[in-house]
Amino acid sequence: MEATIWHNPRCRKSREGFKFLEENGVQLNVYHYLENFPTENEIKDLLEQMGAVPRDILRKGEKEFKDLGLKDQNLPDDTLLKAMSSHPKLIERPIVIAGNKATLGRPLENLVAFFEQNIKE
């Protein structure tokens, strides 16, 4: 079993997701997206795997969210993708990818269900 996790080790929810997968024997490829910023296309591909739109993974409590005026619901997806690529702190975590599917691992129940459907042997 193998998966990739977009991980922030300083985030409690990200650590919980990491620990759950590790305890269940998943071999993890760890992507430290706060150190190696994802491109707009990488985020777009991730969203396609999730069946999601940019606002679904946008952290609304971050200072950058307010500073960049991202509350405006009329902003196009490209604007949100650019903001997340330039300020990856705006991306919710953890995000787990297995095969051609991905999920947001918060709450942990999302990750448990994803594990059961897509990772577990």
Q: Are 52 and 103 in contact (CB under 8 A)?
A: no
Quote the CA–CA distance of 37 and 22 in Å, as a whole number.
24
Q: Are 21 and 2 in contact (CB under 8 A)?
A: no
Instruction: Reply yes or no on whether 2 is catalytic.
Output: no
Quote the CA–CA distance of 1 and 101 in Å, as a whole number.
14
Contacts for 109-114: CB closer than 8 Å, 24+ residues apart: 111/17, 111/20, 111/21, 112/20
**Catalytic-labelled residue, pool 1, 2, 4, 11:** 11
Q: Which residues are catalytic?
A: 11
